[in-house]
């Protein structure tokens, strides 16, 4: 399994002082975390796109270009590009250029977006939420696949034999579809034969049938469903013991819910947090062994070939975030891949259940 990290660049207020990092400080911190992830052997970095005062990343492509010059191996992507409010031509040009700068490490994860502030900001109607994404995704694929494009747009511009340049280093710039929980989104990705990234906002069991729908839709459209990649990702924090992880991370996770969600909550209770960290829950917070078991459960349920950990939530200090990344790279990733290699795809979680492996402390 390929492992990586992603962040939206939240500017959460410090839980003790009430002040937040400046956007400049946060961007510099993200570049340093990317360098750490690259040195530790992780395979992927994703940066989210938001257009609010409490996020530092409204132009992630520019930050990714800076990171490209500071790293050697990390694949670089948005997580996600809100394609519905982007110009597909400009987006392709930016990522083709990023691919040139990074020697072929650029990817796009395109989604409709859970935050909607970009729609009025760029002159789009929320009534066209899905139609915009559908047309722009098909246009982006046309731009990717052809250096000269004829395109008849309805919600997009029309192109009559125009050059699409520059071309990337990679023959085909990878385009993933990022999805939440809408069945039609899974089916669309399958019909188009595109790799899928699933945001695990709850436990993996909820997404089993949706991923099956994705693969069936791909097969029905004539694609090799078994050859399509599925990625999964969610909120993550690891510490030497599960109690230390919970006690350290909960105040910051609560701050994230109270400040940075699309619809912030007044209070996020500890009992809910603890429940989500239990087996079957979608929150990967705990000791390395506890996180390993949950990752094997995700893999056994979804058959994913990539996991992306969302790091640094709620103003978690740089040192804590860095330590968590190191545990992911040095203890969690090798153990998961040993289990998957030994058990075979999809069998790891079943093997844990049969042997009665306990959660680490």
Q: Encode the chain (361 residues) as per-residue pLDDT tens digits.
A: 999 999 999 999 999 999 999 999 999 999 999 999 999 999 999 999 999 999 999 999 999 999 999 999 999 999 999 999 999 999 999 999 999 999 999 999 999 988 999 999 999 999 999 999 999 999 999 999 999 999 999 999 999 999 999 999 999 999 999 999 999 999 999 999 999 999 998 999 999 999 999 999 999 999 999 999 999 999 999 999 999 999 999 999 999 999 999 888 888 999 999 999 999 999 999 999 999 999 999 999 999 999 999 999 999 999 999 999 999 999 999 999 999 986 543 333 333 333 333 334 4
Helix axes 129-145, 88-101, angle to 10 degrees: 50
Residue environment code for 67-82, b if the CB has 16+ CB neighbours within 10 A, otherwise e: bbeebeebbbbbbbbb
Residue environment code for 94-121, b if the CB has 16+ CB neighbours within 10 A, otherwise e: bbbbbbbbbeebbbbbbbbbebbbbbee
Q: Are 225 and 218 in contact (CB under 8 A)?
A: yes
pLDDT of 342: 63
Distance CA 325, CA 161 (A): 47
Whether a cis peptide bond, with omega within 30° of 0, leads into 209 is no
pLDDT of 262: 85
Taking only Cα atoms into account, the Rg of the chain, rounded to an integer number of angstroms, comes to: 20
Q: How many CA atoms lie within 13 A of 279 on its CB side?
A: 14
**What phi and psi values does residue 81 have, to the nearest 5 degrees?**
-75, 125
β-strand 2-7 against 44-47: which pairing, if any? parallel
Tokens of 91: 């987006």
**pTM score, whole prediction:** 0.92
């Amino acid at each position: 399994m390929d492992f990586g990290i992603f962040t939206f660049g939240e500017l959460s207020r410090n839980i003790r002082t009430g002040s937040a990092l400046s956007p400049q400080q946060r961007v510099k911190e993200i570049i340093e975390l990317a360098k750490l992830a690259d040195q530790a052997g992780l395979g992927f970095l994703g940066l989210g796109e938001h257009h609010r005062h409490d996020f530092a990343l409204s132009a992630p492509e520019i930050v990714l270009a800076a990171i490209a010059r500071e790293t050697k191996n990390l694949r670089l992507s948005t997580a996600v590009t809100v394609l519905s409010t982007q110009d597909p031509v400009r987006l392709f040009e930016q990522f083709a250029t990023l691919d040139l700068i990074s020697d072929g490490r650029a990817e796009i994860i395109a989604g409709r977006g859970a935050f909607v502030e970009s729609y009025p900001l760029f002159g789009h109607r929320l009534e066209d939420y899905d139609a915009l994404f559908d047309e722009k995704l098909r246009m982006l694929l046309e731009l990717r696949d052809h250096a000269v494009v004829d395109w008849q747009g309805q919600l997009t511009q029309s192109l009559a034999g125009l050059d699409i340049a520059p071309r990337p280093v990679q023959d085909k710039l990878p385009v993933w579809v990022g999805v939440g929980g809408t069945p039609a989104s899974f089916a669309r990705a399958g019909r188009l034969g595109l790799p899928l990234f699933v945001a695990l906002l709850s436990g993996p069991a909820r997404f089993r049938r949706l991923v099956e729908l994705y693969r069936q839709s791909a097969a029905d459209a004539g694609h090799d469903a078994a050859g399509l990649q599925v990625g999964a990702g969610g909120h993550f924090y690891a510490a030497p013991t599960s109690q230390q992880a919970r006690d350290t991370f909960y105040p910051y996770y609560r701050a994230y819910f109270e400040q940075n969600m699309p619809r912030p909550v007044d209070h996020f209770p500890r009992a809910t947090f603890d429940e989500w960290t239990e087996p079957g829950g979608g929150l990967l917070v705990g000791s390395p062994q506890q996180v390993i078991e949950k990752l094997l459960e995700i893999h056994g349920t979804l058959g994913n070939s990539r996991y992306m950990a969302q790091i640094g939530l709620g103003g978690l200090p740089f040192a804590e975030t860095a330590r968590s990344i190191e545990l992911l790279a040095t203890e969690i990733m090798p153990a998961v891949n040993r289990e998957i290699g030994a058990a075979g795809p999809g069998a790891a979680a079943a093997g844990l259940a049969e042997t009665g492996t306990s959660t680490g402390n």
